[in-house]
Amino acid sequence: MKAIVIGGTGATGKELVAQLLEDNRFDAVTVLVRRNFFSQQAKLTEIVVDFEKLSDYKAYIQGDVAFSCLGTTLKDAGSKDAQWRVDHDYQLEFASIAKASGVESFLLLSAFGANAKSSLFYNKMKGSLEENIKKLNFTQLVILHPGGIERPDSDRKGEKAMIKLLKAFNAIGLFKRYEPLSTKRLAKAMIASYFKFKEKQKTVILKEIKEVSV
């Protein structure tokens, strides 16, 4: 079985690639990256791509299942337009090429609150991506909606403070739907969801993510 991954150098993506390489059900893993990142491994094919010209690399976007963990922050992107380009356009083009190349299953790491009609930019961006990928009609589409994501190596002070606050609230039974999960557990849930949920389109909320990642 062959998997293709974008966003593999991010916190969750790195963990996903590591778990795919350890999983005997997968005999090949292709990761599209902006620059060399991974050490050489038997099952791994790392392809350095220009995401502005992703169609030039369609020969590498082939396999049984595609995983998308790509994303950036508004601060890192520099503008809303630039963030939309990464979080929406690049992922949609990747999905479109995968579909055209015969990939039957697509796993998308999205966000809680994603809604194409939202007045909030981030939620609208994530929701718009989901709706557009749904239109591609994959045989299997699984969209994951985690609450918070606990990134062990994050240097984002605001994010760390928010995770700490959420954990404190969770401990007294508040804001459980925002309960943060480790990247290791979230990556495990992505792989498990591929094998567990066979619906044509399935949105996996936090409760189910926790259940499949134990």
Mean pLDDT of the chain: 91
Domains recognised in the chain with CATH numbers: 2-148+183-212 (3.40.50.720)
How deeply is 199 buried, as exposed, middle or buried, from its count of CB atoms within 10 A (0-12, 13-18, 19+)?
Answer: exposed
Question: What is the sign of the dihedral through the CA atoms of 105, 129, 191 and 17?
Answer: positive
Residues tagged active-site: 122, 126
At residue 72, the pLDDT reads 93
pLDDT band at 93 (very low <50, low <70, confident <90, very high): very high
Q: Are 7 and 71 in contact (CB under 8 A)?
A: yes
> Over the stretch 122-162, which tens digit does the pLDDT of each residue have?
999 999 999 999 999 999 999 999 877 776 665 555 556 66
Please give the Cα distance from 28 to 36 (Å, whole number). 18
